[in-house]
Structure 1
Amino acid sequence: MLDFENLHPDTLAVRAGTLRTEFGEHSDAMHLTSSFVVGSAEEASLKFTGQMPGYIYSRFTNPTVSAFEQRLAAMEGAERCVATASGMSAILSLCMGLLKAGDHIVSSNSLFGATIQLFNAYLGKFGVTVTYVSPTDVDAWAQAVTPATKLFFLETPSNPLTEVADVAAIAAVAHSHNALLVVDNCFCSPALQQPLKLGADIVVHSATKYIDGQGRVLGGAVVGSHAVLEPIYLFLRTAGPTLSPFNAWVLLKGLETLGIRMKAHCEKAMELATWLEAQPQVAKVYYPGLKSHPQYDLAQRQQSGGGGVVSFDLVGGKAAAWALIDKVELMSRTANLGDTRTTITHPATTSHGRLTPEARAAAGIGDGLVRISVGLEHVGDLIADLQQGL
């Protein structure tokens, strides 16, 4: 008999979390309803109090959303997943569920700009403090801990410089201080990296990116153990940053092709990064698959591929970066990533534009930095587009 608990993630991406109705549909059903009917007042009472399983109201219980949660949890090797309306609502939900006034976060200083904005502008209003450290300096994480530290938070690879953090080493530091390690797995997805198996306690996703993979819908997820995720689920149940059933159905379809898409993204990104390194207009290329990457050896151990994001510094700073972005004809000028279509952006004035100049400098985000999310077009055409732009 098959060992269903040890199936490959590519198989889980297609088969896990399939909920069939009495009609026996082969593909996943889409349950577009706001609420669910019960058979009696007693049944309603038992379901609302959690004494009986079942669906009540689509803000916090929906079969299609449940199918997506079960599938993603299986792929990450987790007990449970809580799906949310977007990647940022996933981070908000975990913070609201797990933190209180007076708590402290140790965070990587290399994060998506909106995450830093959430930590500084909003969590700070409620008495949660944050200390930012280099994602690659394990000693700095230990030195930043205070008696109030509850969470460690990092992205690996980071946005936009693709820095790779040592998840196992940082998890050991967090656990020695009774803190939880949260890893944003957006750049790799479970197809390339499973942080929980490396020691992380929680994984967060912007499912909008590679999980959907085609720029169609928004979605987010928090993945971990039942015990850790229960207060996060209770926040979602009350506050309602909920994934819609339609978006959940689209994301289920996205998961089915995640493995083959990520392999293609990695192959094309590696070829593009190698070409960029040879161009005289390019001062530096950031891609974990390159041997020139500072954490190349760690990436080889921790990830099964380099991912689809390539960043590079141009000689000539902002003027050169803007000129290239304006001249490309094939690539899409948008700050989104993880799409079948290649996208190009200037992080210092888009995704990280709300950070102070000092914060951008501390994170290594210069004015000449360009980020490309390599899609599924023929890489020769992408190179030709950049060549004429340069």
Structure 2
Amino acid sequence: MDGLRSALDQNNVSLFFTESPTNPFLRCVDIELVSKLCHSKGALVCIDGTFAAPVNQKALTLGADVVLHSATKFIAGHNDVLGGCISGSEELISKIRLYHHVIGGVINPNAAYMILRGMKTLHLRVQQQNHTALRMAQFLEEHPKIIRVYHPGLPSHPEHHIAKKQMTGFGGVVSFEVAGDLRTTMKFVDSLKIPYLAPSFGGCESIVDQPAIMSYWDLSASERVTYGIKDNLVRFSFGVEDFEDLKADIVQALESI
């Protein structure tokens, strides 16, 4: 917040943009406070709420001007379509729509249908994912082969107090650090039987991602450390599978290392 205040005081800021929660450590921004600070200086606030899903966090009611979502993730929810959406006041969105008409990028009818289909079960899917992810985060935090767990529903999370205030659920993604190096973590990931190995999240099927080699592979080890991306970091997006099945799968994978 001190950095934001300084930036607003020293610059002519037009827009503040952030994710909340962020990828992959699920850090949370106090949207209400940020909005008040920015609006006092005439700046707009844009929140990417993809990791939260719309049913868990309503940034517009907290003061944000614009909300983005990758509809590919929780909104469509079936890992089979690409799309995105933007929400805000009619005044703002009409300007964006005009620009959108100029540059193109119109979603195809079948993709639009698939997203609408997915939205019918959004609240049910996310409720299950919230529940599974929080229980799994609590389980992993107690496991001797896990060094650290990142999930806003845990009291150990640095912004747990913010997440409790502005989220009705904490999302279906859990990041954690395995006790071991890059290859040990690769063995753990490869030993999992239920989740798909892919860089997406938010679908019915669980997905696991080792960021060091799947999302940040083009950076050197020292550059990854700068961003906090350790070799032993795992990002796990929980689907709608049975909790006990997922837990058993994680346990047998951890036993393999």
Alignment-derived partner of residue 76 in structure 2 = 212
Alignment-derived partner of residue 162 in structure 2 = 298
Asked if 1:256 corresponds to 2:123, the answer is no
User: What 5-or-longer segments of structure 1 have no aligned partner?
Assistant: 1-137
Asked if 1:384 corresponds to 2:248, the answer is yes
Q: Contact 1:171–1:199 at 8 Å: present in 2 too?
A: yes
Using the size of structure 2 for normalisation, the TM-score is: 0.93
How far residue 147 of structure 1 moved from its aligned partner, in angstroms, is 3.0
* Alignment CA distance shift 1:302-1:349 (3 Å): same
Q: Distance in 2 between matches of 1:296 and 1:223?
A: 26
Moved more, 343-352 or 295-304: 343-352
**Helix, strand or coil at the partner of 1:198:** coil
Q: Distance in 2 between matches of 1:154 and 1:355?
A: 22
Asked if 1:143 corresponds to 2:40, the answer is no
How far residue 231 of structure 1 moved from its aligned partner, in angstroms, is 2.6
Letter in 1 for 2:7: A
| Post-superposition CA distance 1:92-127 (Å, at most 9, x none) | xxxxxxxxxxxxxxxxxxxxxxxxxxxxxxxxxxxx
Alignment-derived partner of residue 40 in structure 2 = 176
Q: Larger Cα Rg: Structure 1 or Structure 2? A: 1
Alignment-derived partner of residue 187 in structure 2 = 323
Letter in 2 for 1:363: Y
Letter in 2 for 1:176: S
Q: Among residues 232, 239, 245, which one is paired with 1:375 in the alignment?
A: 239
* Alignment CA distance shift 1:360-1:152 (3 Å): farther
| Post-superposition CA distance 1:64-93 (Å, at most 9, x none) | xxxxxxxxxxxxxxxxxxxxxxxxxxxxxx
Letter in 2 for 1:237: H
Alignment-derived partner of residue 35 in structure 1 = none
How far residue 364 of structure 1 moved from its aligned partner, in angstroms, is 2.4
Q: Distance in 1 between matches of 2:42 and 2:223?
A: 28
Q: Distance in 2 between matches of 1:380 and 1:278?
A: 16
Q: Among residues 207, 223, 238, which one is paired with 1:343 in the alignment?
A: 207
Q: Contact 1:212–1:255 at 8 Å: present in 2 too?
A: yes
Letter in 2 for 1:222: I
Alignment-derived partner of residue 216 in structure 2 = 352
How far residue 355 of structure 1 moved from its aligned partner, in angstroms, is 5.2
User: What 5-or-longer segments of structure 2 have no aligned partner?
Assistant: none
Q: Contact 1:317–1:369 at 8 Å: present in 2 too?
A: no
Letter in 2 for 1:196: L
Q: Distance in 2 between matches of 1:188 and 1:154?
A: 13
Q: Distance in 1 between matches of 2:154 and 2:76?
A: 26
Asked if 1:225 corresponds to 2:116, the answer is no
Q: Distance in 1 between matches of 2:17 and 2:65?
A: 10
Q: Distance in 1 between matches of 2:245 and 2:195?
A: 10
Asked if 1:200 corresponds to 2:69, the answer is no
How far residue 353 of structure 1 moved from its aligned partner, in angstroms, is 3.5
Using the size of structure 1 for normalisation, the TM-score is: 0.62
Count of matched residue pairs: 253
Q: Distance in 2 between matches of 1:300 and 1:360?
A: 30
How far residue 362 of structure 1 moved from its aligned partner, in angstroms, is 4.0
